[in-house]
C-alpha cells in the first residue's frame, strides 16, 4: 500500500545506523577477540584462539562465569516466586484496585538502579538498618557479616531489581486469559485449585518464560551490584570484563569474554522464543 | 446469605495471597523508604533509628558544584539521545510494521537486542569502534551510545502504537484523495503522538540513569550517575542520600505523568510493551 | 424418548424451581422477584431484549452470580447454596469458552477428568459425545483451527458428556450466520429430544424462541411478562409488550360503552364492561374483503395502501383508514394490493391485552 520511496526513506536511515553502530561494533568485538596484548601494552593483530582457550583454562574465568550463572539462576527463581503470586493476585483478586497496584509495582523500576543498590548497601551493612534492628531486638549479638559483600547481598539486590521484570510479562499473560475460561472450568466441575493448574497456569507459561529470560539474562550481565555489594566472593563475569578494559588492560581477552556472553544471551533468547511459541495458543 | 458463593472465592487464593503481595511491596519499597529517611538524618549513614532530622545534606548538595555540572551534562546527553533515538526509532517501527525487505528478521533482532543485552556489551563494542576510528571519548560518544541503545525503546513503543492504529483510517484517507505522504502526516503521525511522547519520556529517564554504556564511553565530563558512582567508590557521603531522594521524586513525578498520559490515550495500560520498555532501565 | 408436548400440557414434576429471585448490582436492580419452574425434559427459552436480565438469571442458575434475594431449588436441594463446580448443571457459553491449549477431545473430556473418572470410561463417553455433535473427525484439532459453528458443537458436547440434569445455553447461536443458525436451531431441538434433559436457552431472537421452545419465559426489565407455550404466547399475549415483541401486531386502543366497542373507525359489539380497552390484532388475521356476505363478528373497514413490504410468500402492507388508524395487514405475496382497499377481520381475533406497567 505504501510507495517504494516511502518504504526506502523509512527503512534506510535506521538500517544504516544500526549497521554502523551495532553490527560493526559486534563484528569488531569478534575481531578483537582473536588479537592479543604485547608486553609493551599495545594491541597486536595476531590471529589465534588463545583468548578463548584462556577462558577455559584459567580457573578464575570459568569459575566466575559459573558463579555468575548460579547467581543469575537464583535471582530468576526468587523473582518468579515473588512475581508470579503477585501477578496472580493483581489479575484475579484485586478488582478495582488493580490499576493502582500495577502502578505501584512499576514505580520502583523507574527509580535509579544506582540509588536502589546503594540503599541496600545502607541496609545490609554491619552498621546498617538490618543489623541494628536485629541487635536491638536481641535476635543477634554481633552484626551479621554475610549480609553485605557476599553473593547473598548480590542475589538479594538483583532479586529486588528484577522481580518487577519477572512480574510484567506474567501479569500480561494472566490478563490475556479470558475470564469465561475460568467460569467454564468451574462449570465443568473443577475446583478453584484444579482450575488454576489445568487452565490458568498452562496459559500463563509464555509470560513465565519471558519473565525468567529477562531476569536471568539481565542479572547474568550485571556489574554494578557485584561491584557495590559483592565483595571479593561476589565478583561476577562482567566485573572481570570491566577490569580487563580498565586496570588489567587486556582488551582482546575482554572482547573474547564479552563475545561469549553475547553468544550465550542470543542462544538463550532463541531458546526462550521457541519455548514461548510452543505454549502460545490463540 | 451465610454460605453465599462470592466470585472471589471461586478463584484459587486466600489471605496468603494478600500477605504475599503486601510482603513483596514492602520488599520493593523498603530501600527507597530507608534512603529518604537517611537523607534527613543528622548522623549521616549508620546509626538507627535516624537521629535529629536535618536538611543539612540537602544544603550541602545544593552547594556542590561538580554535581550540578554533571546534572547539566546528563541533561544535554538525555535530550540529544532522545532526538537520535526518536529520529531513528520511529522510522524503524514503520519499516518493521509495514515494509518487507530482505534481512528484515535480522534487522528486527538487531534493533531490539540492546534492550535485553547487558549494557556493558553494547558499551564495550562501541568503545572498540571508537578506538579503531580514533575518536576521542567525550559527551558526544556517550550521546551516540545512548542514542543507539535506546532506539529499541522508541521502536517498541511506536510499533505497539502502530498496531493499534486502524488501517481503515489510512485507507479512508487515500480513498478521499490524499496521497501517501499527506496521509502519513495528517493521519498516521497524529495517531502516534501518544506513543512518541511516551517513548520520549522513557528515553529521557533511562538516559539520565544510564551507567553501563556510559561507563566505557566517558571522556572528561561526567554524567550524574557516574559522578555519584565515583563518589560512592571513594566513600559514602550522606549527600548521596539527598541526591538519591531527589532523583526518586523526579522519577515518581515522571512516571505518574507518563502513566496518566497513557491511560488517557488508551484507556488501559499495556503491560506487554511496558515490559520491553522498562527492561532498559536497569540493563544499561 | 419424551413425547411431544401439546399446547396445554402442564409441566410435569419441576426439576428446577426459581423462587422470588432478585438481583441488584449496586443500585441497579437487574432482576425483580422472578419465580419460575422448569420441568424435567423441557426446552425452556428465556427471551428478552438486552438489559432484560436474562443472562443474569442464567448465571445465577449456573452459579457465577449470587442472587440478592430468593432461592433456587433443584429437586430437594438448595442449588444456590452450592458453588458452580458442585452443581449438576452445565453451560454452553456465548463465545464457547473452549480451552485453547487443549484439543477438541481433551476439551470434551475435561469435566470427566476433573471428576477423576477412569480413563477407560472417559474415552468411549467422549467419542460418543463427539459422534452426537458430528465432530469426531476433528477430535485431535485445537479450537483455533476449527470454525465458529464447529466450536459451538464442541462446547455442546463438552457440556453434555457430563450428563447434567440441566443444560444452560447462553445465546449460543448469536455469533453464527443466518443459515447456520437455522440449521443449528433444528439440530439443538432434536438433540434435546434425544438426550431428554432439560434445556434452558437464553436468546433475544423471538423467532428462534418460537421455533425451539416447549415454553417461553418473556423477561422485560427484570420481570416476567408471560410464561407460556409458543402458541399461547403468540395467540393470547398477556400484555401489549408481549404482543409487540413477538411477531407483528396492531395495537388498538378502544372504549367500550353499553356493549359496543369503538376503536377509531372500527366498531363491534363486545360483551365487556364499560371502560377503556387495549386490543392486539395480528396482521395475518386481517384479510382483503371478499364477497359481501355479512358474517356475525366480521368487521369491515376501508382504507388506502401506504406502503408494501414484500417478503416472498407474504406481503406486509400498511393501510391508512379513517381517523388516522393505520393497520398492518399480511396478505399473500401475489396479491399486489394497491390504492384503495377494503379490509375485514373477525372480532374474535382481537385479543384483549393489558398495558404493561412502566418499569424504570
The model's pLDDT over C125-147, given as tens digits with 9 standing for 90+, comes to 999 999 999 999 999 999 999 99
From A10, A89, A269, residue closest to B91, measured CB to CB? A10
CB A71 within 8 A of CB A223: no
Nearest CA in chain A to B282: A113
Asked if A32 has any chain B CB less than 8 Å from its own CB, the reply is yes
Q: State residue B282's pLDDT score.
A: 36
- Cα separation, A184 vs B283, in Å, equals 41
Mutate to test the interface with A, among B12, B32, B235, B278 (most CBs of A within 10 A): B12
Whole-number Cα distances in Å, C104 to A265, C124, C125, C174: 38, 14, 14, 21
Residue length of chain B: 284
Q: Is B7 close to C82, i.e. CB distance below 8 A?
A: no
Q: Residue C92, preceding bond cis, omega within 30 degrees?
A: no
Q: State residue B51's pLDDT score.
A: 61
List, for residues A240-269, the tens digit of each pLDDT value: 999 888 888 888 888 889 999 999 999 999
Q: State residue B45's pLDDT score.
A: 55
Q: State residue A148's pLDDT score.
A: 83
Which chain A residues have a beta carbon less than 8 Å from that of C109? none
Nearest CA in chain B to C59: B7
Dig out the grid coordinates for C197 from the structure. 434433559
Q: State residue B53's pLDDT score.
A: 67
Q: State residue C208's pLDDT score.
A: 93
H or E element that contains C343: strand C340-346
Which residue has better confidence, A131 or B25?
B25
Q: State residue A49's pLDDT score.
A: 80
Q: Give me the percent of chain C exceeding a pLDDT of 90.
A: 68
User: What is the mean pLDDT of the segment spanning A194-202?
Assistant: 94
Dig out the grid coordinates for B220 from the structure. 572528561
Query: Scanning the structure block, which residue is given the C-alpha cell 408471560?
Result: C226
User: What is the mean pLDDT of the segment spanning A76-105?
Assistant: 91
Which residues does chain C have with pLDDT short of 70?
Answer: 1-13, 292-294, 359-360
Q: State residue B228's pLDDT score.
A: 85
Give me Rg for the CA atoms of chain C. Answer: 24
Dig out the grid coordinates for C60 from the structure. 445465577
Query: Scanning the structure block, which residue is given the C-alpha cell 537486542?
Result: B113
Q: Which of residues 182-241 of A touch C (CB under 8 A)?
A: 183-191, 194, 198-199, 202-203
Pairs of residues, one from chain A and one from chain B, whose beta carbons lie less than 8 Å apart = 286
CB C298 within 8 A of CB C221: no
CB B239 within 8 A of CB B29: no
Tell whether the model's pLDDT for residue A167 goes beyond 90.
Answer: yes
pTM of the predicted protein model: 0.84
Instruction: Please count the other Cβ atoms lying within 10 Å of the Cβ belonging to residue C163.
Output: 13
Sign of CA dihedral C269, C357, C57, C185: positive
List Cβ neighbours of B85 (8 Å cut-off, separation of 6 or more): B146, B147, B150, B151, B153, B154, B199, B203
Range B112-145 burial, b when 16+ CB lie within 10 A, else e? bbbbbbbbbbbbbbbbbbbeeeeeebebebbbbb
Which residue has better confidence, C18 or A124?
C18
Contact partners of B by the rule of 3+ C-beta pairs under 8 A?
A, C
Distance of CA B102 to the CA centre of its chain: 31
Mutate to test the interface with B, among C61, C78, C81 (most CBs of B within 10 A): C81
Asked if B2 has any chain C CB less than 8 Å from its own CB, the reply is no
Decide: helix, strand or coil at residue C314: strand
List Cβ neighbours of B125 (8 Å cut-off, separation of 6 or more): A22, A25, A26, A28, A29, A258
* Shortest Cα–Cα distance, A281 to chain C (Å): 6
Residue A85, φ and ψ in degrees, nearest 5: -60, -35
Mutate to test the interface with C, among A178, A187, A191 (most CBs of C within 10 A): A187
CB C286 within 8 A of CB C327: yes
Sign of CA dihedral B71, B76, B77, B78: positive
Q: State residue B279's pLDDT score.
A: 43
Dig out the grid coordinates for B79 from the structure. 535530550
Which chain A residues have a beta carbon less than 8 Å from that of C93? 180, 183-184
Q: State residue B271's pLDDT score.
A: 41
Q: State residue B167's pLDDT score.
A: 79
Bridging pattern class, strands C298-310 and C69-74:
unpaired
Q: State residue C1's pLDDT score.
A: 35
- Cα separation, C19 vs C56, in Å, equals 15
Q: Is B111 close to A18, i.e. CB distance below 8 A?
A: yes
Task: Say which DSSP state C10 is in.
Answer: P
Beta-bridge mates of residue B264? none
Nearest CA in chain C to A279: C101
- Cα separation, C295 vs C287, in Å, equals 14
Tens-of-pLDDT digits for all 284 residues of chain B? 232 334 445 566 678 889 999 999 999 998 888 888 777 776 555 555 656 667 777 777 777 788 888 889 999 999 999 999 999 999 899 888 877 778 788 888 888 888 888 889 999 999 999 988 888 888 899 999 999 999 998 998 888 888 878 778 888 888 888 887 788 888 888 888 888 988 898 898 889 888 889 988 988 888 988 988 888 777 667 677 778 788 878 878 877 787 777 777 654 444 434 444 444 333 33
Which chain A residues have a beta carbon less than 8 Å from that of C158? 188
**Helix, strand, coil share (%) of chain A residues, nearest 5:** 80, 0, 20
Amino acid at each position: 500500500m505504501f510507495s517504494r520511496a516511502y518504504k526506502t526513506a523509512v527503512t534506510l536511515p535506521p538500517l544504516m545506523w544500526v549497521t554502523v553502530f551495532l553490527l560493526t561494533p559486534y563484528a569488531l568485538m569478534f575481531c578483537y577477540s582473536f588479537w592479543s596484548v604485547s608486553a609493551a601494552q599495545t594491541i597486536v593483530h595476531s590471529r589465534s584462539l588463545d583468548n578463548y582457550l584462556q577462558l577455559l583454562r584459567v580457573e578464575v574465568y570459568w569459575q566466575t562465569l559459573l558463579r555468575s550463572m548460579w547467581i543469575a539462576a537464583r535471582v530468576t527463581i526468587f523473582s518468579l516466586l515473588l512475581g508470579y503470586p503477585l501477578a496472580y493476585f493483581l489479575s484475579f483478586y484485586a478488582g478495582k484496585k488493580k490499576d493502582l497496584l500495577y502502578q505501584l509495582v512499576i514505580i520502583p523500576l523507574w527509580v535509579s538502579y544506582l540509588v536502589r543498590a546503594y540503599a541496600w548497601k545502607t541496609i545490609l551493612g554491619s552498621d546498617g538498618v538490618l543489623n541494628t534492628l536485629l541487635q536491638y531486638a536481641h535476635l543477634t549479638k554481633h552484626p551479621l557479616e554475610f549480609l553485605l559483600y557476599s553473593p547473598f547481598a548480590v542475589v538479594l539486590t538483583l532479586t529486588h531489581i528484577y522481580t518487577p521484570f519477572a512480574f510484567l510479562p506474567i501479569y500480561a499473560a494472566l490478563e490475556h486469559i479470558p475470564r469465561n475460561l475460568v467460569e467454564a472450568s468451574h462449570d465443568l466441575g473443577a475446583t478453584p485449585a484444579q482450575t488454576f493448574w489445568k487452565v490458568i497456569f498452562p496459559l500463563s507459561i509464555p509470560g513465565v518464560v519471558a519473565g525468567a529470560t529477562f531476569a536471568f539474562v539481565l542479572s547474568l550481565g550485571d556489574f554494578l551490584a557485584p561491584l557495590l555489594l559483592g565483595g571479593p566472593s561476589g565478583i561476577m563475569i562482567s566485573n572481570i570484563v570491566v577490569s580487563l578494559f580498565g586496570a588489567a588492560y587486556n582488551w582482546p581477552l575482554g572482547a573474547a569474554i564479552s563475545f561469549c556472553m553475547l553468544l550465550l544471551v542470543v542462544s538463550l533468547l532463541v531458546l526462550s522464543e521457541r519455548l514461548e511459541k510452543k505454549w502460545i495458543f490463540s | 446469605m451465610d454460605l453465599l458463593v462470592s466470585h472471589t472465592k471461586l478463584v484459587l487464593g486466600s489471605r496468603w495471597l494478600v500477605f504475599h503481595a503486601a510482603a513483596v511491596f514492602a520488599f520493593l519499597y523498603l530501600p527507597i523508604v530507608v534512603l529518604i529517611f537517611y537523607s534527613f538524618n543528622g548522623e549521616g549513614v549508620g546509626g538507627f533509628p535516624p537521629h535529629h532530622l536535618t536538611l543539612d545534606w540537602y544544603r550541602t548538595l545544593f552547594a556542590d558544584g561538580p554535581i550540578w555540572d554533571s546534572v547539566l551534562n546528563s541533561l544535554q546527553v538525555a535530550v540529544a539521545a532522545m532526538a537520535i533515538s526518536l529520529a531513528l526509532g520511529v522510522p524503524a517501527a514503520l519499516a518493521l510494521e509495514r515494509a518487507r525487505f530482505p534481512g528484515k528478521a535480522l534487522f528486527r533482532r538487531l534493533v531490539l537486542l540492546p534492550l535485553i543485552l547487558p549494557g556493558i556489551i553494547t558499551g564495550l563494542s562501541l568503545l572498540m569502534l571508537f578506538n579503531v576510528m580514533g575518536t576521542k571519548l567525550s559527551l558526544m560518544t556517550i550521546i551516540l551510545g545512548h542514542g543507539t541503545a535506546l532506539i529499541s525503546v522508541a521502536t517498541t513503543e511506536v510499533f505497539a502504537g502502530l498496531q493499534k492504529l486502524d488501517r481503515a483510517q489510512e485507507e479512508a484517507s487515500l480513498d478521499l484523495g490524499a496521497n501517501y505522504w499527506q496521509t502519513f502526516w495528517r493521519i498516521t503521525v497524529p495517531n502516534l503522538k501518544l506513543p512518541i511522547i511516551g517513548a520520549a519520556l522513557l528515553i529521557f529517564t533511562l538516559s539520565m540513569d544510564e551507567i553501563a554504556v556510559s561507563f566505557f564511553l566517558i571522556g572528561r565530563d561526567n554524567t550524574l550517575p557516574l559522578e555519584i558512582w565515583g563518589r560512592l567508590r571513594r566513600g559514602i557521603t550522606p549527600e548521596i542520600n539527598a541526591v538519591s531522594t531527589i532523583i526518586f521524586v523526579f522519577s515518581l513525578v515522571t512516571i505518574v505523568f507518563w502513566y496518566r498520559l497513557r491511560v488517557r490515550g488508551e484507556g488501559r495500560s499495556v503491560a506487554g510493551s511496558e515490559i520491553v520498555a522498562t527492561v532498559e532501565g536497569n540493563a544499561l | 424418548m419424551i413425547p411431544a408436548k401439546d399446547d396445554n400440557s402442564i409441566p410435569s414434576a419441576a426439576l428446577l424451581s426459581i423462587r422470588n429471585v432478585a438481583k441488584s448490582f449496586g443500585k441497579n436492580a437487574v432482576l425483580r422477584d422472578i419465580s419460575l419452574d422448569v420441568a424435567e425434559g423441557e426446552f425452556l427459552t428465556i427471551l428478552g431484549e438486552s438489559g432484560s436480565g436474562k443472562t443474569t438469571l442464567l448465571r445465577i442458575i449456573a452459579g457465577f452470580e449470587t442472587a440478592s434475594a430468593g432461592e433456587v431449588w433443584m429437586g430437594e436441594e438448595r442449588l444456590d447454596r452450592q458453588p458452580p463446580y458442585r452443581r449438576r448443571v452445565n453451560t454452553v457459553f456465548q463465545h464457547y469458552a473452549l480451552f485453547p491449549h487443549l484439543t477438541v477431545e481433551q476439551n470434551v473430556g475435561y469435566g470427566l477428568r476433573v471428576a477423576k473418572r477412569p480413563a477407560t470410561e472417559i474415552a468411549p463417553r467422549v467419542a460418543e459425545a463427539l459422534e452426537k455433535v458430528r465432530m469426531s473427525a476433528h477430535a485431535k484439532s485445537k479450537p483455533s483451527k476449527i470454525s465458529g459453528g464447529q466450536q459451538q458443537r464442541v462446547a455442546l458436547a463438552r457440556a453434555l458428556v457430563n450428563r447434567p440434569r440441566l443444560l444452560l445455553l447462553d445465546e449460543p447461536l448469536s455469533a453464527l450466520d443466518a443459515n447456520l443458525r437455522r440449521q443449528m436451531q433444528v439440530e439443538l431441538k432434536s438433540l434435546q429430544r434425544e438426550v431428554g434433559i432439560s434445556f434452558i436457552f437464553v436468546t433475544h431472537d423471538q423467532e428462534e424462541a418460537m421455533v425451539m421452545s416447549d415454553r417461553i419465559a418473556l423477561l422485560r426489565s427484570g420481570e416476567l411478562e408471560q410464561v407460556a407455550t409458543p402458541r399461547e404466547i403468540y395467540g393470547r399475549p398477556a400484555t401489549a409488550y408481549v404482543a409487540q415483541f413477538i411477531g407483528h401486531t396492531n395495537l388498538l386502543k378502544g372504549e367500550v360503552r353499553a356493549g359496543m366497542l369503538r376503536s377509531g373507525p372500527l366498531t363491534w359489539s363486545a360483551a365487556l364492561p364499560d371502560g377503556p380497552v387495549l386490543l392486539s390484532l395480528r396482521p395475518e388475521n386481517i384479510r382483503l374483503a371478499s364477497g359481501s356476505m355479512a358474517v356475525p363478528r366480521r368487521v369491515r373497514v376501508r382504507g388506502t395502501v401506504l406502503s408494501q413490504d414484500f417478503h416472498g410468500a407474504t406481503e406486509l402492507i400498511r393501510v391508512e383508514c379513517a381517523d388516522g388508524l393505520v393497520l398492518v395487514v399480511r396478505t399473500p405475496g401475489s396479491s399486489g394490493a394497491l390504492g384503495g382497499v377494503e379490509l375485514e377481520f373477525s372480532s374474535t381475533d382481537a385479543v384483549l391485552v393489558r398495558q404493561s406497567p412502566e418499569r424504570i
